[in-house]
Amino acid sequence: MNTLYVTGNSLLHRLSARAKLIALAATGIALIVLASPLLLGISTLAALALYASVGIGWRQSWLRLRPVFVTIFVVAIFALLVNSPEEAAVTLLRLTTLVLLAAAVTATTGIGEFVDEITLAARPLERLGLVRASDIGLAVGLVIRFVPEVLGRYQAIRDAHEARGLKARPLTLAVPLIILTLKNADDIAAAIDARGIRGHKPARRSKER
């Protein structure tokens, strides 16, 4: 199975998952507040350099980020139609910077580290009886783990259409992708429940009489 994590020894690899997630959250807030195209352009270049330092390679980076960049481009075009060019540029640069930073963090942080940090962050909610922290961590870990699987499955369906001389339309691609993804999700949920990973509390021993 594929994974978004890339083995390496860059500065981001050596930082703890907690430090990276806190820095990403703080940077995201700063980018939302920032509205200068010049400063956002500098931020985008800095994020690009940081992502390049991970050592993924430009071709692999493009394959990873292409779907997200297409979405950002569509959002930017819509922003250009309803707002000024400057506001559209701000939207484009802001989203691009966030995506590059998030991709760099994801590529240099193992899934286990993500799960541990998310679980720890959800502990206060568990004390209030709102959620189970371990379930939240598991859910986030599964999402990160299987994003490349879904993308790979999409590409395989697209290649199968082209091999048969069929035109790849959104509907003809989406239907088999959704069916295969849901089937895979059912299999994973059954495996998780069979191992008692979620939704089970340790059984209390009955008192001896």
* Domain coordinates in residue numbering, the chain: 11-109, 132-194
For tokens 């481009």, the residue is 73
Q: Is the pLDDT of residue 22 over 70?
A: yes
pTM of the predicted structure, to 2 decimals:
0.68
Q: Two tokens at 141?
A: 């870990």
153-205 per-position pLDDT tens digit? 777 888 887 888 777 777 777 777 788 777 776 776 676 666 665 554 444 43
Tell me the residue length of the chain: 209
* Cβ-based neighbours of 35, under 8 Å, separated by 6 or more: 90
Question: Residue 23: its pLDDT value, please?
Answer: 93
Residues 6+ apart with CB under 8 A from 88: 76, 77, 79, 80
Q: DSSP string spanning 6-46?
A: ----SHHHHS-HHHHHHHHHHHHHHHHH---HHHHHHHHHH
Of the chain, the percentage scoring pLDDT greater than 70 comes to 86
Alpha helix positions (H), the chain: 11-14, 17-33, 37-52, 58-82, 85-107, 111-121, 123-127, 133-163, 170-194
User: Comparing 98 with 66, which gets the higher pLDDT?
Assistant: 98
Mean pLDDT of 124-143: 78
